[in-house]
Every structure is written in structure tokens, then in C-alpha cells.
Chain A
Amino acid sequence: MTERATAEEFARWVEPHLPVLTRYAARKVGAADRDDVVQEALIRAWQRWSTYDARRGTPVAWLLGIVADRCRRHRTRRPAPLVELVDHGVAPDPAYDVDLERALAGLTRRQREAVDLHYFVGLDVTTAAEVMGCAPGTVKATLHHARAKLRDLLGEHDD
């Protein structure tokens, strides 16, 4: 097997998880920078691939941990933008829920993480718990509290 084949083996291993990794990075650093972060994370994952132990967690949780680390580094090394950039070529959808996005900013960091992982990244509660390093029940409770807070912030109550 050549080195090239080994890299392709890694690519095949990681490719099913790319959409999830990309969505997570987009939530963390924005759509404009997500590809850079994902690329850096994949290189890091490749360097550390030998340390992955399937008994200790799923590939997607392991990969998301690396993406999270790269997102943190990305945010700390990049100065705050002086001009807010917008994605080009994508017109705002009229159905875009601006109020909800604003309300999400009012959640605690942990609640926001749970909401991002479960709703926006699309992970089930068990995998989200693995990424957050807690029990699935804790994620369920965090989501419950997050929804309650959003309900208050948005003035939306179930009848």
C-alpha cells in the first residue's frame, strides 16, 4: 500500500462525516471561514489518526473534538473583523428566522453548544453527549432548559 493509498484510506474514513464537521465549523466560526477550519482539522486528524481508539468513542465525536479545538484556535488568533463580512451569492431567505438567531445568542455557552449540535449540526442526543463529554440525560436537560429560555426570550409559550 502506498502513502497515497493510506491518505485515501483516511479520506474514505472521514468523508461520511464531512457534512457534520462542516456544519459544526460553520456554527462556530461562520460560513466564510469554515472551510479553512475544516481543512486544518482534517490535517490535524490525519496527523493524530493513529491515536484514535474506537473503544473510546465514535469517529464523528473524535473528529468534532478536533474541529472544536481548531475553531478555538481560529477565533483566538484572528483579530476581530473591522467590517462584518457576508456570504456572497446567497441572498437572505425570507424565511430566515432572525429573531430566533438573536435569541440563541442569549443562551449560555453550554446551552448554545447543545442546540448547535442537536439541531443545526444534526447529531442525535447520544452523539451530542459524547462530543460534550457528558451523559445523554444531561444533554436532554440542557436542551430542555435552552428551549425554555428561548421560549421566554421569544415570548412564545405553548398553549
Chain B
Amino acid sequence: MTDLIDERLSRAAQLWRDTLPPAPAVPLERLAEPSPRRGGAARVGLAAAAAVVTVAAGALVVGQLGSRGGSPATTGTATHRVGPEHRAAVPWVPLPAARPHLRTYPHGDHTAGWSTPYDRVSATGAITGTAAPGDVIVFDAVLESSTDLPLAPCPDYHIAFGRHSFRTWQLNCSAVPFHDARGRPYLPALTNVRFEMRVTVPDEPGRQKVLWTLDGPRQLPGFYGIVDVVRP
């Protein structure tokens, strides 16, 4: 006897699976954060050594974008700066997305439009260059507010790389060098505040759009650039 529900479930499931985007890549750059216990102390030492090598490789290739240096052969990965370098940038830290509740409603009226503290923030940045899958690209996201703006709650941001890579992290607000009277980090009015950004290049060769957006505001302030992904 044919089970019509079984067939219907199978058909619906297949259709659902077919419409799903491809699975995300393993976030290799974030796996380096914790110290895994597998393998014991010997590997912890190796982790430190590898980190030094990666940083050194990054320093070697900064400014070589477009001509693509040979450093990946040394470490299997490289760090590329894909925008101008500024010493004052807030360092990038892979903070997990916090998904803060940002929306407020005038007079508590949920039928009226909502707003967020970051609606008047602009975001700019420059992203361009060439990299290989697995490389880490570095660029700055520059935030500017028209008024003094406390970074409380600290917002999240997204980086979309190509068609299949989409990551969300929290801004490194605690490292912002400006603090208001209450000691909270803030964006001073009409002042460029740079945040260093890092993202691993997915294995998606070709000209790829890299999109950075601040999460929360209706307008999603952000910017994008193009990175040529070339397999070594």
C-alpha cells in the first residue's frame, strides 16, 4: 500500500533541500581562537609558533595586493590588507554576534515605525585586491556618527564574501579609544572611527563582492568592494 503522507513528506523535504543555499564553510580563522585540548600541551606550543608565522606572512604581503606575493607557499595561508592601513584602527577581535535588541518605538507604539541608535551612522571602507582561498583579508570599516553616540549596546556587523560566505560578529567596542562621561565607548560626533576587519577568503574563485554592513538599522549602513579570488 502506498503511503501518501510518506511520499508527500519526501517530496516536500527534497524541494526544501533544493532551495537551501550551500552549507557555510568551516570558519578556520575562528578555530584558531581557543586552545584545543586535543593532542595536549605540545600542540599549544605549536599554536603559538603558527600564530607568529601567520602574522609574519601578513606583514610580508601587506601592500602587495594585485601582484600577489608568494607567502602562502610558506604557511598555507596569508593575511592580506585589502584597503589602506591606519595605525589608529580598533583591532579586530572575533567576538561572537551578540544580537543586541536595538529597536525602539516612539511612545511605546509598536504600530509606528521603529528606530535604532545607529540610524544616523555612516559606514565607509575600501576593499580591493587579490587573494587565495583560505587567506585572511584585512580592511578597515570606518564609522561616523552625526552626533555623539554611545556604543551601547555594542552592535553586530556582517561580512558577506561572494555568494556563499556570510559571517556575523560583534564590533570590538571595548577597544574604542573614546569614552563618554559614563565611561562607555562612543563615537564622537563627526569623527571617523576605524575598526579593523578580518575575514577568511572562501574557496569561490573569481571576482567576488565583499559586503560589510552594520546590523540593526533599517538602512544597514555599509560598503562593499571586489576581491579577485585566485587558487594558487
Bound Cα distance A2, B193 (Å): 36
Closest chain-B Cβ to A34's Cβ sits at a distance in Å of 8
Bound Cα distance A15, B12 (Å): 25
Is the beta-carbon distance between B12 and A100 smaller than 8 angstroms?
yes
Closest chain-A Cβ to B168's Cβ sits at a distance in Å of 5
Residues in A with CB closer than 8 Å to B32 are 3-4, 7
Q: Which of B21, B36, B76 contacts A4 (CB 8 A)?
A: B76
Where chain A touches its partner, the secondary structure class is: helix
Bound Cα distance A90, B21 (Å): 9
Number of interface residues of A (CB under 8 A): 51
Bound Cα distance A25, B99 (Å): 18
Number of interface residues of B (CB under 8 A): 53
Bound Cα distance A156, B77 (Å): 56
**CB closest residue in chain A, given B10:** A119
Is the beta-carbon distance between B21 and A31 smaller than 8 angstroms?
yes
Is the beta-carbon distance between B12 and A43 smaller than 8 angstroms?
no
Is the beta-carbon distance between A95 and B46 smaller than 8 angstroms?
no
Residues in B with CB closer than 8 Å to A158 are 1-4
- The A-contacting residues of B in range 1-42, CB under 8 angstroms, are 1-6, 8-13, 15-17, 19-21, 23-24, 26-28, 30-34, 36-39
B residues in contact (CB < 8 Å) with A: 1-6, 8-13, 15-17, 19-21, 23-24, 26-28, 30-34, 36-39, 43, 46-47, 49-51, 53-54, 75-77, 96-97, 99, 101, 103, 110, 114, 166-168
Q: A5-B76, A42-B27 are in contact. List 15 more A-B contacts (CB 8 A).
A: A3-B46, A3-B47, A6-B43, A7-B31, A14-B26, A18-B24, A38-B24, A43-B30, A43-B31, A47-B34, A97-B12, A100-B9, A115-B9, A120-B13, A151-B4
